[in-house]
Amino acid sequence: MIISTKKLLIIERAVELFAKSGFESTSVQEITEACGISKGSFYLYFKSKESLLFSIFEVFIDRVSKKVASVFEMDSSPKDKLELFLCIQFEEIDQYSDFILMLLREQTKPEDTELFVLMQQMDKQLNDTLKELLVGVYGITIKRHIPDMTIMVKGLIKGYIELIIMYNRNLDFKKLANFLLYRIDSLVSGLTTPFLEEDFILKIDDKKTT
Amino acid sequence: MIISTKKLLIIERAVELFAKSGFESTSVQEITEACGISKGSFYLYFKSKESLLFSIFEVFIDRVSKKVASVFEMDSSPKDKLELFLCIQFEEIDQYSDFILMLLREQTKPEDTELFVLMQQMDKQLNDTLKELLVGVYGITIKRHIPDMTIMVKGLIKGYIELIIMYNRNLDFKKLANFLLYRIDSLVSGLTTPFLEEDFILKIDDKKTT
Amino acid sequence: MIISTKKLLIIERAVELFAKSGFESTSVQEITEACGISKGSFYLYFKSKESLLFSIFEVFIDRVSKKVASVFEMDSSPKDKLELFLCIQFEEIDQYSDFILMLLREQTKPEDTELFVLMQQMDKQLNDTLKELLVGVYGITIKRHIPDMTIMVKGLIKGYIELIIMYNRNLDFKKLANFLLYRIDSLVSGLTTPFLEEDFILKIDDKKTT
Amino acid sequence: MIISTKKLLIIERAVELFAKSGFESTSVQEITEACGISKGSFYLYFKSKESLLFSIFEVFIDRVSKKVASVFEMDSSPKDKLELFLCIQFEEIDQYSDFILMLLREQTKPEDTELFVLMQQMDKQLNDTLKELLVGVYGITIKRHIPDMTIMVKGLIKGYIELIIMYNRNLDFKKLANFLLYRIDSLVSGLTTPFLEEDFILKIDDKKTT
DNA sequence: AATGAATGAGGTTTCATTCAT
DNA sequence: CATGAATGAAACCTCATTCAT
């Protein structure tokens, strides 16, 4: 991931503009104007408007991945790792929140798009990470509940992220992560029969990678 | 809410197309072709492309509202009502799922749009309903946890809805609702100190209505 | 000129609307709405939107012609007739002023249009009338000056009509006609060499009728 | 007033087309075809079709203003200046005649349009110029007759201009100006009681500038 | 590397007119 | 006589992209 200064400039300005008005509604013209460069120059750095979106996403994923990786390299208890992981989700998404909101809104579905693939890879990565963390914390007995737990933990995270995004709330991420840790505990302790089959997530993620 | 047959036809086809390709990326041309009518006819039934979006939303809200209202009128235990409520969310959103996904993706932010107002009203209504149901089930001692519980329950619902939407999974909504009912039980029983203040949701919803 | 009640209703409402917004910018829809009839009905009475314009013009010409004819039938001095003629011009055009203004603005040039022909016939009629009146007042010696005098008298009339039209001024038409009578006298008394050839107007009007 | 070559090309071709078929009836398509450029290019030079009209008008006013200004700077008798002024009116309007005719026909009334304002400013300027010239030639005793004289002189000019415009007559402008100079003399010498009040024009022009 | 003029396909919308009822 | 749903051509305008300089 080596990116020229100019390319980064375009990415940064574009993130802001996309966040404000959406992808379709932001013209290349507006982007180049915001960068103080010519329209022609844009195509020197990006093959198309869509490829810019792709680059933005790449940069974002790169950042999150690095942070998550650092969590695993740390020498702390599984629970602390899970808590840290939750915290990172909030921190990162807080920074890119407007852009993420745009992505949610605009990303056109076509399942073959490069961008879509990227999003799915990211989701799979998130699923894997969560699984590892949950098994780390609750032992292998949790395994049959992984699909449900993954969905539910992601749901809880999303619930609070929406608050951050939609209402620009400044929340104490550390406290929130700690709070959620105990909610996850509650959920786990109450589990009996899983709703989803054990290999549910697996199946989905397999579809993604093939 | 009386809607002519033709208008309803357009709405239905449009929901499908919007779901597939997004709002901006679906042309009026495509919609009318899918309906087997002329481009001019479209504007007989809708003032503009955007007003179609508005109508779609109205129809959706109308349907959900009626169903939810029927839950409250029923003569069953609070828990059954909550379970039924969860079930309705899944059923309804299953039907309109693709369209909802599109809405999430495309709805341009401007906070003054009629459409945006409609969405917020719907959210407030959802919050109120949830609150009433939760208090019904868990008593007034739950009150200080209402903001967190609202966010979390909505998060759990969203988690599974995403499954439905993204992967077109046919799930057993009744079983899912029952499953979630017990998860909510677990969450409630583990609650200690709230993360959000008691009047948090209130504040947000107030901002919406003023 | 026998016109059905409904047809007259449409004509009247259309005159108002055309005057307000112009011909091109007034839709048949608006006209029929103003009349409280259906769009289909319009085409029962008029072959097309343009034919409506034609009808309006016909009605207007019919009115002016009748009034002018009555002047000639009167038993008064030539000068009084000329004065009366001037007065009629102001009165009539005052009534239809807004519509006339629209006509000036919008009438598309194409020299073959029925409407254009009608306008030219009307102009020729005006020229003939003026000629007869001027010769009546100033004798046959005025003949060589008829082209110039026609142009100039029409110019003077137009100058004041513009005042009426553009600024909605309520002027005393009788006084104005009398005032202009003396101006015409001044002009005639000062004439030496004509600027236009004697048969100038003739040539033009001939072109019109062939 | 610096205008790019291409912009000027569009203006020139547009003037011709507008003159032939009117503003509303001339499509941007037709204009660009006449210029040998693409539809998209048009919007590189003009924000909208209406703004083109505005530009055309600006160019025209600019030209006339410069010519009129040069008359005042000349070192000749007042009468010669008036004659020259009349001549310029005919010359300029001859060149833009068709377009002017279109303007008369199409300019939609709304009194707040930028274009409308421009037209009124131009008229006021014309009134002021005429007043100055008339006072220069006939002395201050003419003052109480200025409103009537302004209207009438403008009427006379218009009478002949219509000839030029409607019938594409090539007239000898110098001879015509000289001819009209004597007609104005006649009119002035015959004046007794004014028809319009002395401050009439003033009032109107005041309304224009406020 | 950088420009910006030029393109043209495609978008939304309007509207005069027709025709089955 | 009357209706109003339906049509489809044509209008204005936007925008991603290309290319000669």
The single-letter code of the amino acid at D7 is: K
For chain A, give the secondary structure using H, E and C: CCCCHHHHHHHHHHHHHHHHHCCCCCCHHHHHHHHCCCHHHHHHHCCCHHHHHHHHHHHHHHHHHHHHHHHHHCCCCHHHHHHHHHHHHHHHHHHCHHHHHHHHHHCCCCCCCHHHHHHHHHHHHHHHHHHHHHHHHHCHHHHHHHHHHHHHHHHHHHHHHHHHHHHCCCCCHHHHHHHHHHHHHHHHHHCCCCCCCCCHHHHHHHHHHC
Residue type, C161: I
CA distance D160 to chain C (A): 7
How far apart CA B93 and CA B87 sit, in angstroms, is 10
Over range C130-145, report the average pLDDT. Answer: 94
Res B113: pLDDT:
63
The CA–CA distances, whole Å, from C6 to A42, A47, C44, C46, C99 equal: 63, 64, 10, 11, 20
Could you tell me which chains touch chain B, where touching means 3 or more CB pairs under 8 A?
A
Computed from CA positions of residues B59, B60, B65, B68, in that sequence, does the dihedral angle turn out positive or negative? positive
Measured in angstroms, the CA of B25 and the nearest CA of chain A are apart by: 8
Pairwise CA distance, residues B188 & B193, whole Å: 11
Q: What is the residue whose two structure tokens read 């495309």?
A: B106
d(CA A47, CA B172): 45
List Cα–Cα distances, B165 to A155, A196, B102, C157, D197, in angstroms.
14, 16, 11, 76, 79
- Put simply, whether D204 touches C (Cβ < 8 Å) is yes
Do the Cβ atoms of C167 and D204 come within 8 Å? yes
When computed from its CA atoms, the radius of gyration of chain C, rounded to whole angstroms, is 19
CA separation for the pair B43, A123 (Å, rounded):
41
Lowest mean pLDDT among A61-65, D24-28, D90-94, D188-192: D90-94
The Cα–Cα gap between D45 and D24 comes to 19
Which pLDDT score is estimated for A110? 46
Is-contact A158 B104, C-beta < 8 A? Answer: no
Rounded Cα distance between A94 and A91, Å, is 5
Query: Which stretch of C18-27, D57-66, D184-193 has the lowest confidence by average pLDDT?
Result: C18-27
* CB of A107 closer than 8 Å to CB of A119: yes
| CB of C5 within 7 Å of some strand F atom | no
Q: What's residue C112's pLDDT?
A: 46
CA–CA min distance B156, chain A (Å)? 5
Residue with tokens 């409607």: D166
Using DSSP's 3-state secondary structure scheme, residue B104 falls into helix
In the predicted model, what is the mean pLDDT of residues C42-71?
87
Tell me how close the Cα of D77 comes to any Cα of chain C, in angstroms.
22
What SS3 class is residue D2?
A: coil
List of chains touching A (3+ CB pairs within 8 A): B
Residue D48 φ/ψ, nearest 5 degrees: -160, 175
pLDDT single digits (tens) B130-156: 999 999 999 999 999 999 999 999 999
Q: Pick from B26, B93, B103, B109 the residue to mutate for testing the A interface (most A CBs within 10 Å).
A: B109
Q: What is the pLDDT of residue C203?
A: 67
Query: Which pLDDT value is given to residue C100?
Result: 61
The answer to whether residues C115 and C50 touch, using CB atoms and an 8 Å cutoff, is: yes
Query: Which range has the worst mean pLDDT, A103-117, B4-18, C196-210?
Result: A103-117
Indicate the SS3 state at residue C210.
coil
Q: Is residue C128 part of a domain?
A: yes
User: How many Cβ atoms from other residues are within 10 Å of residue C87's Cβ?
Assistant: 20
Residue B45's contacts (CB-CB under 8 Å, 6 or more residues apart) are B4, B6, B7, B10
Nearest by Cα to A183 from B186, B83, B176, B146: B186
B154 belongs to a structural domain: yes
Residue B38 and residue B7: Cα distance in Å, rounded? 13
Q: Is residue C16 part of a domain?
A: no
Q: Nearest-CA residue to the C1' of F15?
A: A27
B27 to chain A, any CB pair closer than 8 A? The answer is no
Residue D176 forms contact with C (CB below 8 Å): yes
∠C138-C140-C144 over CA atoms, to 5°?
100
**pLDDT level of residue A63 (50, 70, 90 thresholds):** confident
Q: Residue A97: pLDDT band by 50, 70, 90 thresholds?
A: low
Record: contact A25-B108, CB cut-off 8 A: yes
DSSP D27: -
Instruction: For residue C190, give Cα distances in angstroms to A141, C194, D189.
Output: 119, 11, 10
C1’ E14 / CA D153, Å: 43
The structural domain count of chain B equals 1
Tens-digit pLDDT profile for residues B87-121: 988 888 766 666 665 665 554 444 446 666 777 77
Strand F and D39 CB separated by under 7 Å: yes
A24 part of contact set with chain B, CB < 8 Å: yes
Q: How many CB atoms are closer than 10 A to CB B109?
A: 16
Say what the pLDDT of residue A164 is: 78
Tokens standing for B20?
Answer: 């597939």
Tell me the residue type at D28: V
Type of residue numbered A109:
K
> How do residues A147-174 score in pLDDT, each as one tens digit?
999 999 999 998 898 787 667 677 899 9
Length of chain B in residues, anyone? 210
Chain C contact for D114 (CB, 8 A cutoff): no
Tell me if C190 and D186 make a contact (CB, 8 A cut-off): yes
| Nucleotides of E strand lying within 7 Å of any protein CB atom | 1-20
pLDDT average, residue stretch D9-13: 91
C-beta of residue A14 within 8 angstroms of C-beta of residue A28: no
**Is B186 within 8 Å of chain A by CB?**
yes
Is the residue at D19 inside a domain?
A: no
User: Distance between CA atoms of A6 and A42, rounded to whole angstroms?
Assistant: 10
* CA-angle at A191, arms to A186 and A193, nearest 5°: 165
**Looking at strand F, which nucleotides approach a protein CB closer than 7 A?**
1-20
CA–CA distance, D17 with D27 (Å, rounded to integer): 9
Q: Is the pLDDT of residue C82 over 50?
A: yes
pLDDT at position A176: 96
Place of tokens 């314009």: C53
**Taken in order A74, A77, A78, A82, is the CA torsion positive or negative?**
negative
Read off the CATH number of the domain in which B155 is found.
1.10.357.10
The amino acid that residue C178 corresponds to is: N
- Nearest-CA neighbor of A37 among A45, A48, A25, A47? A45
In this complex, how many residue pairs, one in chain C and one in chain D, have their CB atoms less than 8 Å apart?
A: 105
Chain A residues close to B20, C-beta within 8 Å: 109
For residue B61, CA distances in Å to B1, B55, B69, B122, D202 come to 11, 10, 12, 7, 62
Weakest-pLDDT range from A9-23, B71-85, C90-104: C90-104
The model's pLDDT over D88-123, given as tens digits with 9 standing for 90+, comes to 888 877 666 666 656 555 544 444 466 667 777 777
For residue D160, being part of any structural domain is answered with: yes
* Highest mean pLDDT: which range of B184-188, C109-113, C194-198, D7-11: B184-188
Distance CA C88, CA C71 (A): 9
Looking at residue A98, its pLDDT comes to 63
Q: Is residue D22 assigned to a domain? A: no
Q: Which domain holds residue B157?
A: 48-208
Single out the residue of B124, D18, A10, D209 nearest to residue C109, CA to CA: D18
For residue D76, being part of any structural domain is answered with yes
Whose tokens are 């006379």? That residue is D156
First to last CA, chain D: 25
pLDDT surpasses 50 at D30: yes
| C158 has a pLDDT exceeding 90 | no
D3 is a domain residue: no
* DSSP letter (8 states) at residue C122: H
D206 contacts chain C (CB < 8 A) = no
Of the candidates B160, B158, B149, the residue with the CA atom closest to the CA atom of residue B189: B149
Q: What is the pTM (predicted TM-score) of this model?
A: 0.73
B35's torsion region: left (phi>0), alpha (psi -120 to 50) or beta? Answer: alpha
Confidence of residue B163 (pLDDT cuts 50, 70, 90): confident
- Give the mean pLDDT of chain D: 83
Instruction: Give yes or no for a contact between A90 and A177, defined as CB atoms under 8 angstroms apart.
Output: yes
DSSP letter string, D125-157 = HHHHHHHHHHHHHH-GGGGGGHHHHHHHHHHHH
